[in-house]
Structure 1
Amino acid sequence: MATPSSPFSFLDDLFSRVGSRLQPPAWAVHEVQHRAVLFLNHVLQQEPEAQQRLLRQKGRVVQFEWRFVTMRLVATPAGLLDLAPEGAVPELTLTVTETSPLGLARSTLRGDKPAVRIVGDVQLAAEVNWLVDHVRWDVEDDLARVIGDVPAHTIGNGARRMADALRRFVGGRAAGRNAGGTGSAGVE
């Protein structure tokens, strides 16, 4: 007897089929990567220790991979990031091993780091890991610059409560499946 598949497995399969067939044009990929670098640098500029650590790594190239997405970044003399020049050889390659976008989102919502295969310089990998562990985007601070402190704080509190509830929900469903349950909520 076949096991019933969840709607999430259907969506995972759909993402895989669509993602492997539809490739965005090179200019669109470059623009998205450029915007990602601008965002990362904005976040890094809020953390002087992170910039000092990147400054020590200037000129070193790290390649990030997930499914068909690849991005090479280089540490700049300003302690920030830039897209690596075409043909630059990465000293470190980080590949996210979770191929399912929904699985990746699920683990992220639980607060888990995704599983990553690391190839290359161990010391550079340790610096990247420090950045991942210690650098956070202060959304509330950025929002306060636009709408003021009190509304930003109110929105931030609401967003944190929603995120916590979503984490508990996702964590509860995962615990139910791991315990042999169906993952559905029961009536009490």
Structure 2
Amino acid sequence: MATQSPFSFLDGLFERLVSGPQPPQWLVHEVQHRAVLFLNHVLMQEPQAMERLARQRARVAHVQWRSYSVALLITPAGLLDLAPAGSTPDLRLEITETSPLSLAQTALRGDKPTIRIEGDVQLAAEINWLVDHVRWDVEEDLARLIGDAPAHAVGSVARRVAQALRNFVGSRMAAGTAGNGAAGSPAASAGSDSAAP
């Protein structure tokens, strides 16, 4: 008898939320603007990342997950902006995993989601480099607000919590894989046309 994951109800809940009524266009636009501001904040902490992106200026990357998408324009400064409506993308990135819970589990394990890539190979390579090398330094931002010592303490607790979550998800995934008699990870079943940037 196959056992059901204790978190399977979350997947159904996420599915209902994601496939429910679509948010108004002004809200989608505002969320996209906030995401671009955050990404630029992270990029500005890494001059090498900005230099690499500046070489790809005026290129457009279109990112898609289910019915949600955003088109990002690379500026001459090596930052990002929302691409004008109707822009032709140089690169298309589609996250093939449709389950929000599976995406969250993948992120907690520290893995990259499976992505279908179409378009400019050099731009894809630069984005892959960014994903592999650019990290948000939360402690540095916190230190500006509350000081170095408290920021380090908060960062230390956050790292322990994140590691505990990764261990928990990893053990649940291993138990689920062993219980189903399946071998390998979900990423191992990806097709040859998929890659993770």
Q: Answer yes or no: same fold by TM over 0.5.
A: yes
Q: Distance in 2 between matches of 1:180 and 1:15?
A: 24
CA distance in 2, matches of 1:131, 1:67: 23
Superposition CA RMSD, Å: 1.6
| C-alpha separation in 2, matches of 1:17 and 1:42 | 32
Q: Residues 60-114 of structure 1, C-alpha deviation per residue, up to 9 Å, x if partnerless?
A: 0001111121000010011100000000011111111111111100111011111
Instruction: Give the equivalent residue in structure 1 for 2:67.
Output: 68
Q: Which residue of 1 aligns with 2:85?
A: 86
- In structure 2, the residue corresponding to 1:23 is in which secondary structure? coil
Q: Is the 8 A contact 2:3 2:179 kept in 1?
A: no
Q: Which residue of 2 aligns with 1:52?
A: 51
Quote how far apart the aligned CAs of 1:18 are: 3.4
Query: Residue in 1 aligned with 2:109?
Result: 110
**Change in CA separation of 1:175 and 1:99 when aligned onto 2, cut-off 3 Å:** same
The TM-score with structure 1 as length reference comes to: 0.91
Counterpart amino acid of residue 70 in structure 1: S
Identify which of structures 1 and 2 has the higher relative contact order when contacts are C-alpha pairs closer than 8 Å and 6+ apart: 2
Deviation at 1:181, TM superposition (A): 7.0
Unpaired stretches in structure 2, ≥5 consecutive residues: 182-197
Letter in 1 for 2:48: E
Please give the alpha-carbon distance, in whole angstroms, between the structure 1 residues aligned to 2:168 and 2:4: 20
Name the structure 1 match of 2:155: 156
- Aligned residue in 2 for 1:14: 13
Contact 2:5 2:176 in 1 (8 A): no
Q: Distance in 1 between matches of 2:62 and 2:90?
A: 8
* Residue equivalent to 1:127: 126
Match for residue 173 of structure 1? 172
Q: Deviations over 1:108-162 (max 9, x none)?
A: 1011111111111111111100010000000000000000000000000011011
Give, in angstroms, the shift of residue 38 of structure 1: 0.3
Per the alignment, in what secondary structure is the counterpart of residue 93 of structure 2? strand
State, as a whole percentage, how many aligned pairs show the same letter. 66
Secondary structure in 1 matching 2:39: helix
